[in-house]
Structure 1
Amino acid sequence: MIGWGDVYRVAAAMAPLYFALGLGYGSVRWWKLFTADHCDAVNRLVVFAAGYRVLAADAVAKLIVVLALAGCAAVRRAKAATRRGGSAPSSYSWCITGFSLAALNNALLVGVPLLDAMYGKWARDIIVQLSVLQAVVWFPLMLIVFEARQAWLEAVVWFGSDVERPAQGENGRKTVATGCAFWAPLLRAVGVKLARNPNVYASLLGVAWSSVANRWHLKMPTIIDGSIAIMSKTGIGMGMFSMGMFIGLQDKFIVCGLGLTALSLVLRFIVAPAATVAGALILGLRGDLLRVTVLQAALPQSVATFVFSREYDMHAGVLSTAIIVSTLASLPVLTAYYLVLGLVI
């Protein structure tokens, strides 16, 4: 039975929230302390502060995925060692593919218009921030991982099992020195590929300009602002058109078998949101902010993951199928998530 003490505790917890609400209302309505421009600035500050928590929750979710995949790889490696017939490299390759499926999504093309329609401009701004973070942090890290795997495979070809065994004597020291020498060309190759990717430096330039403009209160020249606005409006349409071309170019929708297709969809639509829920709860996200964080994790597969997998010849069929099927299934899946989250959160 709920007593007066319980009612008081609820009122005591809610009173500070309503106090802040009343101050904000009175500052605009009664005391005229803030203009509409001031209110917009405050709202942006709130969105950015909330955005940082969403970014942190997204990073925690990716860490959870990495730890889970690393545990699976360790178990498979141990089993392969006992059987003396398994392949450790294949375990790590599947870890990379598993991370791509469970952590990298098509936030910019699908997430921005969808979450804008569901929750409004503040949700769109958060998704844009996540897209920028994915372009300037997670994709470069994936390139480093792919290049490291490629260098490791080349080392195995050149030096055989010495790469896997602990270094012993002079030959071991040479093997370790040669292995370390792979990092210089590896990082150089990653740098060249990042320099050729317009998404990366465009995102970096955007972040740099936003920081400078916010610090010194600069405004974008009208001619440049108009050009960027036109490109941004047409970018989503052209991006989805390109997605349709990509799907149309494939010989068939499912090229990796039903088992791997089902696994990729489980990772994209179930594991990714589940890990994100854990990360969001750890960071204390609640309400609409939690809903947006979970929904963005259930967006369809990123096209860039297929580009990486095809370039490095690693499970390209799985990523191709995941992109096609998850994109086609995203509308009913995300609608279902939207309805369920509205009921349970």
Structure 2
Amino acid sequence: MITGWGELYKVVAAVTPFYVALVLGFGAVKWWHMFKTEDVDAINRFNCYFISPFFAFEFASHFNPYTMNVKFVYADIISKAIIIVILLIWANCTSKGNYSWAVSCFSLCTLSSTLVLGVPLLRSMYDEMGADLVIQSFVMQSLLWFIILLFLLELHRARDDYSSKLDDKIVPINNEDPGDFSIEVQENDKHTHQEINKATPPFFALLKIVTIKLVTNPNCFCCFIGIAWALIANRYILSSFRSCLVN
């Protein structure tokens, strides 16, 4: 808890490096033009597929799963489940609600940057107890909520790709009037453009595409590997080491 200037100094000192790096990164692109757009895309992909997975593995592998706070885990699950129900009601029962915004709102409401900012912040406020709670929240986020969110995003993207491929079959039949279009469909040339847009892609084909993308994304399995290592290490390796010390 922050009860004086000393504790406030610890909090500021813990979060300052994060915000300094954030401002420098923004300024390097926006103000000083040190990086081009393609450079930023490359850096983002490198962070996504290398830095973030190893960062997550580092925290998960040094975490003790046998000392998790069960009440905290239940509270985390219940709070996110309530948010999901609210977003589903909003997306299906209101005119402004839609699938994309529901997924985006769930990500913004629940999947925060728990490790980068949360660990140093709560460690400065509550010592190691606060850091342990942040890591527990991250573990639940990586093992359950992040995968669900990524599955929904990849499913939505696969459906959009399917619709765009159908739209590619629309070709102009009158060079003088580019607004006159016909739809080339092998089964029946009388299909309309609206019927193509309403076509539903095969579920198992979409599921196969999404599964392959999830399996090849290291962010989906890095935490699983880290937790598996933590379970083995805390159950057998550490217990064996302690027994050797006692003997």
TM-score between the two structures when normalised by the length of structure 1: 0.39
CA distance in 2, matches of 1:155, 1:189: 16
What are the superposed Cα offsets for residues 146-196 of structure 1, whole Å, 9 maximum, x if unpaired? 11111222333428655886xxxxxxxxx6673432211121112112x3x
Contact 2:123 2:131 in 1 (8 A): yes
* 1:73 aligned residue: 91
Equivalent pairs counted in the alignment come to 153
Letter in 2 for 1:58: D
Residue 218 of structure 1 aligns to a residue in which SS? helix
Unaligned runs of 5+ in 2: 1-62, 168-192, 242-247
**CA drift at 1:110:** 1.2
* 1:111 aligned residue: 118
**CA drift at 1:205:** 2.6
Sort the Cα spacing of 1:206 and 1:154 in 2 relative to 1 into closer, same or farther, 3 A: closer
- The reply on whether 1:209 has 2:226 as its aligned counterpart is no
**CA drift at 1:53:** 1.7
* 1:120 aligned residue: 127
Residue 216 of structure 2 aligns to a residue in which SS? helix
User: In structure 2, which of residues 73, 76, 87 is the aligned counterpart of residue 58 of structure 1?
Assistant: 76
What are the superposed Cα offsets for residues 199-237 of structure 1, whole Å, 9 maximum, x if unpaired? x5442232112211222243799xxxxxxxxxxxxxxxx
What are the superposed Cα offsets for residues 40-76 of structure 1, whole Å, 9 maximum, x if unpaired? xxxx99x925x22212211111111111111111123
Where do 1:1-345 residues align within 5 Å? 48-49=67-68, 51-76=69-94, 79=95, 91-157=98-164, 158=166, 161-162=194-195, 178-193=202-217, 195=218, 197=219, 200-218=220-238
Q: Which protein is richer in helix relative to its size?
A: 1
What are the superposed Cα offsets for residues 79-126 of structure 1, whole Å, 9 maximum, x if unpaired? 48xxxxxxxxx7111111111111111111111111122222122111
CA distance in 2, matches of 1:202, 1:219: 25
TM-score between the two structures when normalised by the length of structure 2: 0.53
CA distance in 2, matches of 1:146, 1:109: 23
Letter in 2 for 1:55: V
Contact 1:155 1:179 in 2 (8 A): no
Percent same amino acid among aligned pairs?
Answer: 26
